[in-house]
Structure 1
């Protein structure tokens, strides 16, 4: 009762300091902000704070310092590593950027825009497309995720092999620091070599060093022609050989190259029973490839020529090229639907691995055989972006397993996979970040020098360890 009274008092004081419009006090209204994307984890917070602009974010930070509260910044809450989920409900608030959705400026000549952190990625992309501009970050959650969260987690997605991670799409940032001051680094310059590039400190920091309130982003011309094909191939080795061939033939015009196993069709149909399947579903492996172009380059001719050559060299067994945007969306729906199908099967292990591309097929075959031998009752699903060495190797426990049995199987599979990733000198987090879910692996992996540098940065920028404590490095977040 004493703890409950303290939380009620803190909520009332937040209302006094910030106003009732900013502070969401009712616990039942906190639920969407205190539940992870897949609904596997739930938490709570003292309050949810919803500022409308950068000045109000700064006021929130100052108020939380006054009340000795910690801040978990949140965008669309679509992360997969619990990075935006509070884990100390009695002393943490969620700071949601969802009301900061303005596009402050678009410069067509400069191919840049300045947008607030709460802009939904898909809405931003559509607004830019109206102006003939293209922001290439493409994610399955783009209808819900927000640009501030994308930057804070250095999101990846399907277009990394052509355009790079989010880090490479950011020109400048506006950030509220732990003392409530505002760093205005919203430059749109492409070349600026005036010392250390401070914005890079906050990209991928998951809100542990500052709260991103606005982003200057790099744009490209909107592709005029996009060709999409779904191909059946012999195995992952062949898929990588096909990528090598396509990369040389098409250079940087390949915007996506996705690998899928046959189980992708089963999982996608579980999520979308009426989803059309335009190719036989019994090939050993599949590739979804996209080529985009503008100007004088004919993407259709390039795709047809590429596939003709690939079939002559026995790299492709069968395939279909989308003849319309609607059919292209159907092909992508298979790739996206397999994620939904996995979620419908309940709690399971989601991994986010990268290894050198030259060893990717070897890695998948080796760990796949180990998992089949040790956990024959589970379904291991390997799929991913291939061209950038990123594979999602997920492990789904059997349907009848209890929650305790699922957690045991997940833990066993995670240890096996992480051990094999270390052996291949890979990364256990290719694009999703660390959050709270992967901090134990992070602790195990980092060297003493790496740790010392991270601790020094945290102490210098957030000396009270107030911003997103418990995320990334747990041992340096307790006051």
Structure 2
């Protein structure tokens, strides 16, 4: 049970950030206390929104001295409950909004934690560069949040996760000390990788207040296609060909089951199916090239070969940017389209790329036996082995009855992923949702090491106390 802070202590916190930096009105707090899927809701006596690293440090020093825990929140787009307080003070990074520098020579952008991912992308674009991390929630997700959760997105195949895109960090440690590590070096072989340690720590080892991130040249050409395939194995065969034909120009390779496409067409206004048939599976792929016409030629060569050999069925290459955006919208709305369909068990797993077909097959068989009549929406980033395997209640079924079996059903799916050499969390983090599952399946020596790191940096467990280990 989180202790209730005194009014006098809360007044001291309010004074640190001034009138614009705090809120305790229930109507103002309400949007920040509910996860967007409505699975988690919370409470807090006070939301603090510091405008600077110095204000953040002042808050954490005071809370550490008083033993008052905080929950850290960026854009509130998290999917595992880690950003929702349950009586703790809520610290929001949304007022730290400056883009401090964009350097196209070093290919580095420095921005504060509250800048949205879309704003980082736009600042890079204005400088003739590109920041490739892209998510469906990029208009709301903040830079600090995506680094803290080591978010992935659709371009991991070529550019890696958030951790791979970070050169340096500025962060407030649980003691209130500030680590000013905003380096711009591509090579720095001087000891432990603190940047990598805080990336993906979900706010438990420090509050990220700014980051220096890598930029890349903008491709002169891109081509986007929607392709029908008969099975996940056929998709894997297409992936192998795409890697051979497009090489490093292959930027995204996304798989969608027919069930999820049907949900999107039914529940998301403005969606259209670019394929005339009803294939059981489809792939959305994107190719980029430094040559304005090169991407289109690569895509045409790839699809001509794949269709001729029977690996792919119907294929449509986007004829315009608007059509490419429509293709991507069908993919990006896979999760949102499930909401009107009722209760869902969601899984964000990863397995070795070669094991994706085996995972989908085995998980579908186990779920059909465990939850007869359930509807499965499987989709995700096949190029990096990340599958979102979502199990919806039967058509016309009871939400409460389906949710009552969620923990048992999720454990079955997670066991399959682990048996195939995978992970229970590919890109959403552990939060409060999966910490128990990770503890059940991780090696005891690994858990002991992770717990020791946290205990050393945050012995009072002040930051995000219910998250991770």
- In the superposition, the TM-score normalised over structure 1's length comes to 0.94
User: Hey, what's the Cα distance between the residues in 1 that align with 2:352 and 2:188?
Assistant: 32
Q: Does 1:395 align with 2:401?
A: no
Counterpart in the other structure of 1:157? 153
Alpha-carbon deviations, 1:261-296, whole Å to 9, x = none?
Answer: 112321112332432222124112100000011147
SS of 2:344 mapped into structure 1: coil
Q: What is the deviation of 1:28?
A: 2.6
Counterpart in the other structure of 1:56? 55
Q: What is the deviation of 1:324?
A: 0.2
Q: What is the deviation of 1:59?
A: 1.1
User: Hey, what's the Cα distance between the residues in 2 that align with 1:70 and 1:221?
Assistant: 42
Q: Does 1:368 align with 2:360?
A: no
Matches within 5 A, 1:284-363: 284-295=280-291, 298-363=294-359
Q: Does 1:241 align with 2:237?
A: yes
Answer yes or no: is the 8 Å Cα contact 1:397–1:406 preserved in 2: yes
User: Hey, what's the Cα distance between the residues in 1 that align with 2:63 and 2:425?
Assistant: 31
User: Hey, what's the Cα distance between the residues in 2 that align with 1:296 and 1:259?
Assistant: 26
Alpha-carbon deviations, 1:289-333, whole Å to 9, x = none?
Answer: 000111477111111011111111111111100000000011111
User: Hey, what's the Cα distance between the residues in 2 that align with 1:388 and 1:445?
Assistant: 21
Alpha-carbon deviations, 1:134-168, whole Å to 9, x = none?
Answer: 11101111011001000000001110010011111
User: Hey, what's the Cα distance between the residues in 2 that align with 1:309 and 1:440?
Assistant: 46
Counterpart in the other structure of 2:85? 86
Counterpart in the other structure of 2:181? 185
Matches within 5 A, 1:254-269: 254-269=250-265
User: Hey, what's the Cα distance between the residues in 2 that align with 1:99 and 1:281?
Assistant: 48
Matches within 5 A, 1:69-108: 69-87=68-86, 89=87, 92-108=88-104
Q: Structure 2: 5+ residue runs without aligned partners?
A: none
SS of 2:382 mapped into structure 1: coil
Counterpart in the other structure of 1:218? 214
Answer yes or no: is the 8 Å Cα contact 1:153–1:203 preserved in 2: yes
User: Hey, what's the Cα distance between the residues in 2 that align with 1:131 and 1:469?
Assistant: 40
Matches within 5 A, 1:119-198: 119-198=115-194
Taking structure 1 as reference, are residues 241 and 61 closer, same or farther at Cα in structure 2, changes over 3 Å only?
A: same
User: Hey, what's the Cα distance between the residues in 1 that align with 2:15 and 2:150?
Assistant: 36
Answer yes or no: is the 8 Å Cα contact 1:138–1:158 preserved in 2: yes
Matches within 5 A, 1:428-439: 428-439=424-435
Greater alpha carbon shift after TM alignment, 22-31 vs 150-159: 22-31
Alpha-carbon deviations, 1:59-112, whole Å to 9, x = none?
Answer: 11122224431111111010111111113x1xx111100011111001111111
SS of 1:21 mapped into structure 2: helix
Taking structure 1 as reference, are residues 38 and 128 closer, same or farther at Cα in structure 2, changes over 3 Å only?
A: same
SS of 2:391 mapped into structure 1: strand
User: Hey, what's the Cα distance between the residues in 2 that align with 1:462 and 1:62?
Assistant: 12
Q: Structure 1: 5+ residue runs without aligned partners?
A: 474-479
Counterpart in the other structure of 1:39? 38
SS of 1:82 mapped into structure 2: coil
> What CA RMSD, in Å, does the superposition of the two structures yield over aligned residues?
1.6
Q: Does 1:441 align with 2:440?
A: no
SS of 2:312 mapped into structure 1: coil
Alpha-carbon deviations, 1:154-184, whole Å to 9, x = none?
Answer: 0011100100111110000001011111001
User: Hey, what's the Cα distance between the residues in 1 that align with 2:376 and 2:148?
Assistant: 30
Greater alpha carbon shift after TM alignment, 146-155 vs 22-31: 22-31
SS of 1:387 mapped into structure 2: helix
Answer yes or no: is the 8 Å Cα contact 1:40–1:347 preserved in 2: no
SS of 1:100 mapped into structure 2: coil
User: Hey, what's the Cα distance between the residues in 2 that align with 1:274 and 1:164?
Assistant: 31
What is the aligned counterpart of 1:427 among 412, 423, 426? Answer: 423
Q: How many corresponding residue pairs?
A: 467
Answer yes or no: is the 8 Å Cα contact 1:395–1:410 preserved in 2: no
Answer yes or no: is the 8 Å Cα contact 1:348–1:395 preserved in 2: yes
Answer yes or no: is the 8 Å Cα contact 2:173–2:205 preserved in 1: yes
SS of 2:20 mapped into structure 1: coil
Counterpart in the other structure of 2:26? 27
Taking structure 1 as reference, are residues 22 and 63 closer, same or farther at Cα in structure 2, changes over 3 Å only?
A: farther
User: Hey, what's the Cα distance between the residues in 1 that align with 2:197 and 2:167?
Assistant: 13
Counterpart in the other structure of 1:68? 67
User: Hey, what's the Cα distance between the residues in 2 that align with 1:345 and 1:376?
Assistant: 16
